[in-house]
């Protein structure tokens, strides 16, 4: 469990314990070099019923509410952010694939990776994923056979197997709700970011409590305690926000995503500072958390979400053109 998370009970507590058990021995470092292991993890999570837990039962998912699904994304974000973001995309894809049950069932089973994107970048935890491209005109599904892929370099998200996917054939138009898909993606990515912030705050506190300097633990220093409290406050605030089931508009989801990603980067940077600084700390897991936070912000294109959210907000004003 986490000091920063709410006190889970019942179904949530059982789910968190199960996920933590599955992920306890997972090391995401260098997972891009082990795509078969990433696929096996994806299938394992699907077999446990959590890969698309938040998709409606009528669409083949687990039917969990927003808060329970967000708990899954956040716990994945703590240990394997690439899988967390891939699970978010699997949820959005399953909800868009209402008229294509054969593909949707394979997504639920974890048999195939799927990316949902607006700019061609795909971080799907699979080498040759199906890709759903969103635009203001709707959504289009491309099978692996109708795409060409090339690897993309990035800072973190080991295991995302990041690619740029370019259509080389015809896609299939989908009739799903693009606005709802954007909300799902933004809130889901925010939950993954909250998990990263949570893990970073925990790592900083544990390290500082165990590190002795000037005759005592680092936590004896007021400035250190203030920094640790700031990181823990960030994580606790984000994690509690995830427990709200109220529907969000696209611009609200963009605002939540923006705040969560920036907060995760700040928390991870503070955690790295608590370990001594930058540049020589690759042996500490917290260094990976900072890279994951930066790459998640790029993967879910926070800048574009912010611009889109600003336009949606302005358009909602009374008397707008």
Span 294-303, average pLDDT: 97
Q: What's residue 274's pLDDT?
A: 83
Is 143 a member of any domain? no
Is 24 a member of any domain? no
* Domain that residue 199 falls in: 179-314
Is 129 a member of any domain? no
Q: How confident is the model at residue 278 (pLDDT cuts 50, 70, 90)?
A: low
pLDDT at 75 over 80: yes
Q: Among 98-112, 201-215, 274-288, where is mean pLDDT lowest?
A: 274-288
Q: Which residue has the higher pLDDT, 257 or 317?
A: 257
Q: What's residue 318's pLDDT?
A: 67
Q: What is the pLDDT of residues 81-137, one digit of tens each?
A: 999 999 999 999 999 999 999 999 999 999 999 999 999 999 999 999 999 999 999
Is 294 a member of any domain? yes
**Which pairs from 42-46 meet CB under 8 Å and 24+ separation?**
42/83, 42/86, 42/110, 42/113, 42/125, 42/126, 43/109, 43/110, 43/111, 44/110, 45/83, 45/87, 45/110, 46/108, 46/109, 46/110, 46/111
Q: How confident is the model at residue 218 (pLDDT cuts 50, 70, 90)?
A: confident
- What is the pTM for the complete model shown? 0.94
Is 272 a member of any domain? yes
The average confidence (pLDDT) of the chain is 92
Is 56 a member of any domain? no
Is 51 a member of any domain? no
Q: What's residue 50's pLDDT?
A: 97
Count of domains observed in the chain: 1
For residue 231, the domain's CATH number is 1.20.140.10
Q: What's residue 245's pLDDT?
A: 83
Is 247 a member of any domain? yes
Q: What's residue 197's pLDDT?
A: 98
CA-to-CA distance for 280 and 101, rounded, in angstroms? 49
Q: What is the pLDDT of residues 233-251, one digit of tens each?
A: 999 999 999 888 889 999 9
156 touches 77 (CB < 8 A)? no
Q: What's residue 273's pLDDT?
A: 85
Direct distance between the N- and C-terminal alpha carbons of the chain, in angstroms, rounded to an integer: 49
Q: Among 230-234, 245-249, 292-296, 315-319, where is mean pLDDT lowest?
A: 315-319
């Amino acid at each position: 469990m986490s000091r920063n998370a709410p006190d889970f009970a019942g179904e949530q507590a059982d789910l968190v314990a199960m996920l933590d058990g599955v992920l306890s021995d997972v090391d995401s470092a260098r997972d891009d070099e082990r795509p078969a292991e990433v696929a096996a993890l994806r299938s394992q999570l699907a077999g446990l019923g959590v890969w698309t837990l938040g998709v409606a039962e009528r669409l083949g998912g687990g039917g969990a509410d927003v808060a329970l699904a967000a708990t899954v994304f956040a716990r994945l974000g703590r240990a394997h952010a690439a899988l967390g973001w891939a699970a978010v995309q699997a949820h959005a894809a399953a909800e868009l694939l209402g008229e294509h049950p054969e593909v949707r069932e394979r997504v639920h089973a974890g048999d195939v990776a799927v990316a949902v994107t607006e700019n061609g970048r795909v971080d799907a935890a699979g080498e040759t994923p199906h890709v759903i491209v969103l635009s203001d005109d709707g959504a289009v599904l491309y099978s692996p056979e109708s795409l060409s892929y090339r690897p993309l370099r990035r800072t973190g998200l080991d295991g995302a197997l990041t690619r740029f996917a370019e259509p080389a054939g015809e896609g299939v138009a989908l009739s799903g709700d693009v606005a709802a898909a954007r909300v799902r993606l933004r809130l889901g990515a925010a939950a993954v970011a909250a998990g990263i912030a949570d893990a970073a705050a925990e790592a900083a506190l544990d390290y500082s409590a165990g590190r002795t300097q000037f005759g005592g633990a680092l936590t004896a220093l007021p400035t250190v305690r203030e920094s640790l409290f700031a990181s823990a406050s960030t994580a606790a605030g984000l994690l509690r926000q995830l427990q709200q089931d109220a529907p969000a508009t696209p611009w609200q989801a963009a605002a939540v995503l923006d705040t969560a990603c920036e907060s995760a980067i700040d928390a991870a940077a503070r955690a790295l500072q608590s370990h001594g600084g930058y540049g020589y700390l690759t042996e500490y897991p917290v260094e990976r958390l900072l890279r994951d936070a930066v790459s998640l912000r790029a993967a879910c294109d926070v800048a574009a979400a912010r611009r889109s959210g600003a336009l949606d907000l302005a358009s909602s004003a009374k008397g707008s053109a």
